[in-house]
A and B are shown apart, each in its own frame.
Chain A
Amino acid sequence: MKRIEDVAIADAQDLYSPIMCKVSRSKQVTALEKFYEIEMPAGQDLGHDPGQFVEVSVFGVGEAPISISSAPGKKGHFDLCIRQVGMLTNVLKSYEVGDAIGIRGPFGKGYPMEKLLGKDILVIAGGIGLVPLRSLINYVLDNRSLFGRLIILYGAKNPKELLFEDEIAEWSTRDDVEFHITVDQGDEDWTGNTGVITTLIPGLKLDLNNTVAAITGPPVMYKFVIMSLSSKQLPDDQIYVSLERRMKCGVGKCGHCQINGVYCCQEGPVFNYAEIKPMKEAF
């Protein structure tokens, strides 16, 4: 147990003060999602791992946990892509280049990249699950020779909700990326797959000893995707999931994000499935 004598006044941290950053690019990408490039003050680097998140702070409104969408190493900048779904994110809708935005973080545990070196990476993204996974995808692409195959499965409700269309176009043409996309419901221009994301899994040929899957999507998706992967005999400990919770403080204090006894903001949001599986509140 941590005792008061073990901690000096100088050890304490200012946990709740944001760093003031600026929006350096912005673009409404769908009816509900807006992309922001954020510029850190004085060319600082965020210093994050793929899969981590920040607390976005707007004075007068509050804070919300938002996934980082860019890969590490973008000097002085990072990307967010935010769905307008709550109070704070609806205010952010009006944010344009030059507007100030508070940031705390990066927080939590992302993907254990060192463990993934040399592996085939199977990315499974449902809806805005692609936002945090874009960080992983671009990290793999930035360090392409360090990883095996890169397989991306992306599912959206309909073609209008597809994110990062330019990048999707690039992924689908690169020969070092295996990109598969599906929509639940197509429109008249849609010529690709239709159906839920799990329909893309049975056709995959995987090297089961060397494949790691990274899944992010709406809560309902995990169970079915994991069932499909398990039926292909992919071991639980080769599956990573990123879980959404109300990570209010980001520093393991406020209690909101607990999944049974685990703080999602500290031990997650990226979890190894074998480790989080016994947690009854996880899925």
Chain B
Amino acid sequence: MACALQMLINTMKVKQCLTDQPDKDATMECFSLQRTEVPALIDHLRGFGEVIAPHHKGDVSYTFKPVQDPSDVVLDYNRTLLPLKKMFLPPVEKLMDFSLKDGTFTKNEVAIVPRVFFAIHSYEMQSILRLDHNMLNGNAESNYLNRRKSSRFVGISFEPDEFHFSESVGIAIEEMEGFDLFLNKIDDDYQLYVLTPHGEELIKGFGDLETVETEIVEGRGFKKRIRYHYNRLPRVFENSYQSHVWEDVANRCVSCGSCTLTCPTCFCFDVSDEVTVTAEDGTRQRNWDSCMLTNFAEVAGGENFREKTINRTRHRLYRKFKYITDEQGLPWCVGCGRCTAFCPAGISMVDTVNELIQEDEKAQYHKNTRG
């Protein structure tokens, strides 16, 4: 009986989480929220589904994981090691189980589970909106869609450190696109924005909140910047294919793939079959892959279409600032700074782009003075 009731509740939850936003514009509301009230808010959000939020991982790092104790959630963090994409495109994901005895297989259906992602930075949300395009445009992928449709997002403002540069790629600290709720830090407390009908549902029944006038916070500046507006970068890249900057980068790069592994918009994967020790059955799974690894573009027979490091380091940045940007008008880099912060060779994304800009300026100058 209890089991049947639980199943009914689950079915209702799934239905609820799949409801698309009603076609009305939510009137944006803003409430004041004390820092001390945040654990209670997290607890309240558990009524919708599993809450996933940043936690400490060791002394200096952070990770997104399901909340056990709301007081463990970290509200002030610079960035997690792995991006939020891991919750939508897991590093290893089973696609199917197969039997080697009779050659049959069973597809791994990804369950629709209501989840709330809490204390998410704006650049991270923007990376999910970009992944939406990659996974849903053309052939829409069911695994991704099931995870994505049942998700809600609660954003939080952050203090940029020496690696963040999201403003340079058009993403403000308080960019609220994609979020249902947003916590903007004011002094030590928060302003809670209710942004969508989904957000209204999430907050329903959470005590008495006091409506406040929205405040703009001054002085949360970015320390790291790309010198040009992002819409000028495709032209710089157009001229930079043969730039010596790529050689400088390639000479330092150790092809470890850390930059793509931690990148919130990288989505490349490989597929591999794992057979059990009895060799009777196994699973087909996909694993994150990286265009920075030596054999990424290698075909059977040994031909490697991006054999040299310079081919690969260049390809990665063109994928961020040129190829899809030409089509979609947006950089596919969100300025989280992970590739730079976690690069063992100290290669900086922003410095590389700024060097390309400088080289391009020099080339333009010479062209003009000669002409």
* A residues neighboring B (CB under 8 Å): 1-7, 9, 11-18, 20, 59-64, 83, 85-89, 100, 219, 244-246, 248-249, 251-256, 258-261, 266, 280-281
B305 touches A7 (CB 8 A): no
Interface residues of chain A: helix, strand, loop or mixed (majority):
loop
Residues on A with C-beta less than 8 A from B323 are: 258, 260-261
B120 → chain A closest CB, angstroms:
15
Residue-wise interface mask of B (178-209) relative to A, using a CB-CB cutoff of 8 A (1 in contact, 0 not): 00000000000000000000000000000000
Please judge, given known A-B contacts A17-B96, A20-B103, A248-B270, whether A5 and B21 are in contact too, CB under 8 Å.
yes
Asked if B275 CB lies within 8 Å of chain A CBs, one says: yes
Please judge, given known A-B contacts A1-B129, A5-B20, A59-B100, whether A255 and B269 are in contact too, CB under 8 Å.
yes
- B132: contacting residue among A3, A12, A253, A260, CB under 8 A: A3
Q: Which of these binds chain A: B223-231, B293-301, B356-364?
A: B293-301
Residues on B with C-beta less than 8 A from A3 are: 129, 132-133
B341 → chain A closest CB, angstroms:
23
Residues on A with C-beta less than 8 A from B297 are: 245-246, 256
B275 → chain A closest CB, angstroms:
5
The 3 closest A-B pairs by CB, nearest first: A261-B323, A86-B300, A255-B268
Asked if B214 CB lies within 8 Å of chain A CBs, one says: no
Count residues of B near A (Cβ-Cβ below 8 Å). 65
Further pairs besides A62-B271, A251-B139: 18, Cβ < 8 Å: A1-B130, A4-B129, A4-B136, A7-B136, A9-B112, A9-B142, A14-B107, A16-B96, A62-B272, A246-B299, A246-B305, A253-B139, A254-B286, A256-B270, A256-B297, A261-B323, A261-B326, A266-B138
Q: Could you tell me the distance between the alpha carbons of A270 and B300 in the complex, rounded to whole angstroms?
A: 19
Please judge, given known A-B contacts A9-B145, A14-B107, A246-B297, whether A255 and B289 are in contact too, CB under 8 Å.
yes
Q: Could you tell me the distance between the alpha carbons of A12 and B324 in the complex, rounded to whole angstroms?
A: 22
B322 touches A59 (CB 8 A): no
A59 touches B105 (CB 8 A): yes
A9 touches B267 (CB 8 A): no
A260 touches B318 (CB 8 A): yes
Please judge, given known A-B contacts A9-B18, A255-B267, whether A16 and B305 are in contact too, CB under 8 Å.
no
Q: Could you tell me the distance between the alpha carbons of A143 and B97 in the complex, rounded to whole angstroms?
A: 43
B322 touches A256 (CB 8 A): no
B137 touches A2 (CB 8 A): yes
Residues on A with C-beta less than 8 A from B134 are: 253
Asked if B365 CB lies within 8 Å of chain A CBs, one says: no
A36 → chain B closest CB, angstroms:
16
